[in-house]
Structure 1
């Protein structure tokens, strides 16, 4: 079964989508599934990867808001590539232009829309949510909802990794929703990687001793991540408890993040981490993960933190909220700065080492990406067999 993933969000410098794509290539079973990733890029190229699968790029313009990314702009070029590849299944990972291009391709294949993005949460709800209800915003963005319902008509399924997103899409009139949570890369993250010396070094970078609480945060410097809100909450909680934050990331919103951190010695801004083993060791060596974004469709970083044995301090909406386990961190009203401060203070007052011990015991039960892909591939096979029987 040849699966072609038309992946608008892939970039070699990316984060969660890059991890997802590369694990999908590795998870394909030789002789059973062949996975080909088609992504917009600087030029037309073929990059070989695991299990006979590959990544192919189509020359495309830079995305104006983040030049690490490109965007599909030539439907004819995409259709010609699909004609050549002759897929049994086509996945599309963007709700914007690329699924429209795929829907118009005249070939025969199972079509699956993967909701790797939640534009309403990332933009509309965040921009207008302080003075309009979500229902009101949805009505004013009905054109986008009509677009999603048309895609639902044109595709065989719409896959969500978050139950909250699935529920919202169903309420908006989509009928082919499948919830299939993603997972973490197996064999990478573990509480056993905890390194007290590394923890002490990270706290030292925050100007604190080993008795302080070490929070980490990871992600692009983008407005939807709400890093200034996270930084201000850590500052506020630090008046009563010694707490340091190390934020790993970079991006177009870096100036705002730097302004929020100011000269506070307990906030340390670090570069993104590309090495997965290093990331896993850092995660296991912290005391908790703190996150600000309610627009995650799964929240890979929260899942990886769970697998590392970390309590989570996360918003109650989006994929991040799906990762919360009572007694292992704190959950707060998404987008509410005061609620985040209160949740962080409650966590710091509630024996963080004990919460981390509980999270460590539960870490081994974190869902893996391989479970996600096995479920996804098996569903594709079921749909293909139904097509064959009907023919």
Structure 2
């Protein structure tokens, strides 16, 4: 099957979507499919990534709010690319303009919309949540729900990686929603990477001894990640118990986060950690992952933490919530610093040991996700062919 993925969020210096697409390009050929990823780029280019794997960029303007990204602005050019590749199946991975462009393409191939973004949580709920309920905000943003419902009607399938997100989309009237969870990169994250001496050294850098609790937060330093809230909650909880917080990542808000920590020796913000083996060692050696963002569509970092045997303290909305389905992990009311503080304190009170954690089951991998995704595509293509 030839699959064309119209990937509006792909960028060479991007984050989770880039990693997802790169893995998809490798996985498709192994599963017997050909995949072509169409992405906005600085220039028109066709890059072959191996047998049956192609990345084609279409010259597109920069995205004004983040210069790492570009956006599709020419519907005819995108349609010509789809016509040229003659796909058996088309996937769009953004709920914005490119999804509408793909919906208007007059080709016969069935198509799926993969929801790699949750704009309502990232923006509307975060902006207006302090003064209005989710139901009230949804009524105020009914124009966007109408847009999502139109997209659902135009696509044969809508894919969500999170059960919580899928339920919210279906509850809002978007048809055809299914949940196909993502997974971790295989062979990297595991509990046996835990290193007590490394943990003790990290705590010593935070001016604490090994009896303290070591929390890690990992991700972009962006407003929707709510790292400021995480810092405030850790500082408040730290007045009752010795708690260290290590924030790993980078972004335009890093300076503000350093200022938010107020010079506390118990909070370190060292920057990004690109080495995957080093990240696996860090995750396995900490006591819990703490996350502030309720707008995740899957939350890869929480999945990696879980594969490392690391408990998570996460919001009760969004993809991160799916990973806190067993003790000692904790959920807290999204966007509420007091609720996060209480969740941290409850976790500390229940933490009986810093021994390595064994996994109850093998972690779900990204290759499992792609196998299920492409099976769903093949079944849908067969059904459409029989109906034709």
Common topology (TM > 0.5): yes
2:385 pairs with one of 380, 388, 391 = 388
Q: Is the 8 A contact 1:308 1:363 kept in 2?
A: no
The separation in 1 between residues aligned to 2:61 and 2:171, in whole angstroms, is: 35
Structure 1 stretch 377-386 or stretch 34-43: which is displaced more?
34-43
User: Which residue matches 2:242?
Assistant: 242
Give the corresponding residue for 2:135. Answer: 135
The answer for the alignment partner of 1:369 in structure 2 is 366
Counterparts of 1:31 and 1:253 in 2: how far apart (Å)? 41
Unaligned runs of 5+ in 1: none
Q: Residue in 1 aligned with 2:211? A: 211
- 2:217·2:291 contact (CA, 8 Å) conserved in 1? yes
In the alignment, the residues of structure 2 paired with residue 9 and residue 344 of structure 1 have an alpha-carbon distance, to the nearest angstrom, of 34
Normalising by the residue count of structure 1, what TM-score does the alignment of the two structures yield? 0.95
The answer to whether structure 1 residue 177 and structure 2 residue 174 are counterparts is no
What residue number does 1:42 align with? Answer: 42
How many matched pairs?
388
Question: Is 2:28 aligned against 1:28?
Answer: yes
Question: How many Å separate the matches in 1 of 2:344 and 2:386?
Answer: 56
Aligned to 1:97: 97
1:2-28 deviation line (CA, Å, top 9, x unaligned): 111111112222222122112212221
Higher mean C-alpha deviation, range 381-390 or range 221-230: 381-390
- Displacement, 1:364? 4.2
Deviates more, 1:78-87 or 1:291-300: 78-87
What stretches of structure 2 of length at least 5 have no aligned partner?
none
Matched residue of 1:144: which SS?
Answer: helix
User: How far apart are residue 363 of structure 1 and its match?
Assistant: 5.9
Conservation of the 8 A alpha-carbon contact between 2:29 and 2:52: no
Q: Which moved more, 1:178-187 or 1:247-256?
A: 247-256
Q: C-alpha separation between the residues in 1 aligned to 2:360 and 2:308?
A: 6
| TM, length-normalised to structure 2 | 0.95
Within 5 Å, which residues of 2 pair with 1:1-391?
1-30=1-30, 32-351=32-351, 353=353, 357=356, 360-362=357-359, 364-391=361-388
Contact 1:25 1:51 in 2 (8 A): no
Mapped to 2, the partners of 1:31 and 1:318 lie a distance apart of 30
Distance in 2 between the 1:228 and 1:352 partners?
A: 28
* Residues 33, 52 of structure 2: 8 Å contact kept: no
